[in-house]
Copies of this chain bind each other. A is one copy, B any other.
């Protein structure tokens, strides 16, 4: 009787093997044979699941994205507004070894997707999910008076998403601005600036604004 194969779990095993190889050695020298060996399979076992190296990288990126989102759902449970946004940023930023390995996978995927419209579109769907979440949390923050009314909050949210992309490169390349301590300070500085112009709530004293002057009508510059 032929052995039953759980295809979903085999795919998972292979993706985890790619992740280990990418994190350790990078994509330049990665071969299908190497990934098979890492997962404990014969060379031919890979092809039915992932015909090309680009397919493998795409699947591994999807795995990293889903893994990050599972952490985000856990960490943001019950939170709204700036609190949820801050927790989300921390889960995306490469602040520990696991997320640094994720960043290395992200960089590999980017380089593939920059010349592959199908994979770029795949990524766009993922990024839209994050963009929508950031918009929702910022709208809640504005509603709760946690941030100022007068700013282009949509653009600030987009800038934060773009910033989070940058954290992947800064950390994976060991840049000075990419160490966990520096990334934490950068996140604080950005959230502090968002909070600075608000009308009420704790922390307003940091850059105090006159309630009388900072009504929405006076901000239509």
List B contacts of A71 (CB < 8 A): none
**In the complex with contacts A170-B165, A193-B156, A150-B218 CB distance below 8 A:** no
Which 9 A-B pairs give the minimum distances between C-beta atoms? Answer: A166-B166, A26-B115, A165-B166, A155-B189, A159-B186, A197-B207, A155-B185, A208-B213, A162-B166
Q: Does A114 contact B (CB under 8 A)?
A: yes
Residues of A15-33 contacting chain B, CB below 8 A: 25-28
Does A110 contact B207, Cβ atoms closer than 8 Å?
A: no
Among listed A6-14, A39-47, A74-82, A172-180, interface-contacting one: A172-180
What is the 8 Å Cβ interface bit string for chain A, positions 83-94, against chain B (1 contact, 0 not)? 000000000000
Instruction: Give min CB distance, A38 to chain B, whole Å.
Output: 16
Each complex incorporates copies of this chain amounting to 2
Q: Which residue numbers of A lie inside 8 Å of B, CB to CB?
A: 25-28, 53-54, 103-104, 107-108, 110-117, 120, 123-124, 127-128, 131, 148, 150-156, 158-159, 161-170, 172-178, 182-183, 185-190, 192-194, 196-197, 203, 205-210, 213-214, 218-219, 221
Complexed CA–CA distance, A56 and B174 (Å): 21
List B contacts of A131 (CB < 8 A): 176-177
**In the complex with contacts A207-B150, A221-B206, A124-B174 CB distance below 8 A:** yes
Complexed CA–CA distance, A219 and B113 (Å): 45
Complexed CA–CA distance, A32 and B218 (Å): 61
Instruction: Give min CB distance, A105 to chain B, whole Å.
Output: 10
Does B176 contact A128, Cβ atoms closer than 8 Å?
A: yes
**In the complex with contacts A25-B115, A28-B54, A112-B26, A169-B176 CB distance below 8 A:** no
Instruction: Give min CB distance, A183 to chain B, whole Å.
Output: 8
Does B175 contact A123, Cβ atoms closer than 8 Å?
A: yes
Does B104 contact A115, Cβ atoms closer than 8 Å?
A: yes
Q: List 17 A-B contacts (CB under 8 A).
A: A25-B115, A26-B116, A28-B54, A124-B175, A148-B207, A151-B207, A152-B192, A158-B177, A158-B186, A159-B186, A159-B187, A161-B166, A193-B197, A205-B219, A205-B221, A207-B219, A209-B214
